Each structure stands twice: as structure tokens, then as C-alpha cells.
Amino acid sequence: MSENSQFRFGTATGVGSMPGGDAREAAKTVTGIFEDFPFLPELPARGPGADMIGRTAGMLVELYARVEPSGWRLGDRPGRDTKRARSWLGEDLDALEEFTQDYEGPLKVQAVGPWTLAANLELRGGEAALSDPGACRDLAASLAEGLRLHLAEVQRRIPGAQLVLQLDEPSLTAVLRGQVKSASGYRTHRAVDRQVVEQTLRDLAGMHTAGPVVVHSCAPDVPFALLRRAGAAAVSFDFSLLTERDDETIGEAVEGGTRLFTGVVPGTEGPLSDPAGSVMGVRTLWRRLGLSPGLLAEAVTVTPACGLAGVSPGYARTALAHCARAARSLADNPE
């Protein structure tokens, strides 16, 4: 991460998805709450093409996908599903551009990473792209080019933004462990070699030369060491899923300059503790690792535990504002 070590991340941001289908309202919310680190909201409630897989499939170059009863499947030409995905992305960009006039600072955009995409996109025969190493390579190359064009478009619309690319990889651990089910459901796909996984992510991270790459997963057992070696400047995760087994790799990551996007605010509705209480676990982890409290504000960005698509708009606003207040508490009182 050395080339990104001087990058100024914000102290709090969201994960990506938001409830509802109003792009302007979502953009107004995230830019109003996160004045120093907004993100491009995703609104999956609108339907196929606004969902995580469909949205990223719409960014692919020279590969196209359509909705089948079993999920998203690669096809020969762009159809209405691709066009819908691209139209909604354009609507989201229009809304974000409207509320970021003259903005200067970090801005996060999200897309599904190559391995979660390979695990969830079907080939023409109905099996996951993950089953075919050649298809995985083609998908990663198409994604890299699509993301390059997408980031260039965001930069054109918001010239003062320092773009942070978040790759969503909730299926990554399952890919590494051979736990992704086949189309029949009776077997699983073979585990992908860790070096192949790492190199693919490194190539994609290297594509975004203008800014840092964050890898997000709200699944258990996030492979922190692999992601750090692959060039991730930050890792975004559900803090409640950490165990003491993760201590050593997290300590090494922080000391190596990797930033932690700690998902400490619940992504499901319920009462919230006071802001200081939400980051108590982060302070405890810091003490357990023997890290300097002064490093906290430089090493941690506070986020919800996962996306907020499944909650009410009111809770989403409350949770995001809570992240901002919890981050201030961490900065003001690192001990």
C-alpha cells in the first residue's frame, strides 16, 4: 500500500447499498452526512440491474449478461437487462454529480470484485463462470476495462474527487475454500489456487493507478494477509465477525499501512448504542494488539457492518449519521 499511504481517507463512510429507489434522495443523504468521504449509493430495490451483480455486469466490456430464473447469465449481445443496468447507473451518477458540485476530497465507488462475479455469473450452459479458468480470466479482463471507463466517467463528472475503488468480494472466502455450489447444488466447485486469486486482484488493483483500492467482505474469515499482498490499501469488514485468530494478521496489516474499514454499526434495524460504545471494540482490539492509540484515526474508517438495502430509509440515515459520530468519538478519545 505504500504508494497510497499518503492518501487522506475520510474517517467514516457507508458500504454502498441504500434502501428505496430514489437516486436523488440517496445522494443527498450520503453527501450530507459524509461531507469528507461520500460514496456512490446503490439502490437494489429497483430490481434486476440495480442489484450488486447486475450493476457490475452492466459495466463489463464486450461481455453481456441477462437475467434468467436462476440468476445472471452471460450472453452474446447487450439486451434490455444490460441497458437497464446502465441506465440506472447513469441516473445514480447524475444524482451524485448534482450534490457534489465543487467537491474536493475522497469519493468511494463500489463494484463487485472478479471472484464474487465469477461465482455468481453463469456461463451459457448454466454453470458458474468460476468453473472455467479461461472464463475467469476473460471476466477479470472485461471487468478491469469496464472499471477503468467507469472511474474515468466519475472523474469527468466530479473533477475534484480523489477516487477510491471498493471491490465487493463477499464470496471470496468460499472461492478460496471450494465452497461455491454447482448449478445442481449437489457438489461444489474446486477451490481456486490462492496465488491465482491474489494475482487477479493485484492486476485489478494495479489498474486503478489514480487512487487506492478497498476490498469489502461482510462474510466471516476475511483473508486479510492475501488482500494486503494483492495491493488493497484498505479492507472493509463486519467487525462483529472478527475473532482473536485474526489478531496477528490485522496487527501486521495496520503496521504495514493497510487501513481498516471497521463495520461496527449494525446493518439490520434495532437500537443503537451511544457512538462511543459502537467503537469500544475497536479500542479494545487496539489495546490487545499493543498498537498506539494515536494511530486509530489514521488507520480506521467507521462504516456500517454491511450494506443498508434491507432497512428503512429512516434507519439508514440514522445508521450513517451514527457512523460519523462514532468516528468523531474515536478521533477525540482514542484511549
Residue 144 lies in a domain: yes
Total of domains in the chain? 1
**Checking DSSP bridges between strand 161-168 and strand 121-122, what pairing results, if any?**
unpaired
Residue 85 lies in a domain: yes
Strand-pair partners of 238: 263
Residue 49 lies in a domain: yes
Residue 12 lies in a domain: no
**Number of other CB atoms surrounding residue 43 within 10 Å:** 23
Residue whose C-alpha cell reads 466447485 in the numeric block: 189
pTM: 0.96
Predicted confidence pLDDT, tens digits, the chain (335 residues) = 334 456 889 999 999 999 999 999 999 999 999 999 999 999 999 999 999 999 999 999 999 999 999 999 999 888 899 999 999 999 999 999 999 999 999 999 999 999 999 999 999 999 999 999 999 999 999 999 999 999 999 999 999 999 999 999 999 999 999 999 998 888 999 999 999 999 999 999 998 888 999 999 999 999 999 999 999 999 999 999 999 889 999 999 999 999 999 999 999 999 998 999 999 999 999 999 999 888 888 899 999 999 999 999 999 999 999 999 999 999 888 77
Residue 7 lies in a domain: no
In terms of residue numbers, what domain contains 286? 23-332
Q: What is the CATH number of the domain that holds 92?
A: 3.20.20.210
DSSP class of 76? S
Residue 62 lies in a domain: yes
Residue 303 lies in a domain: yes
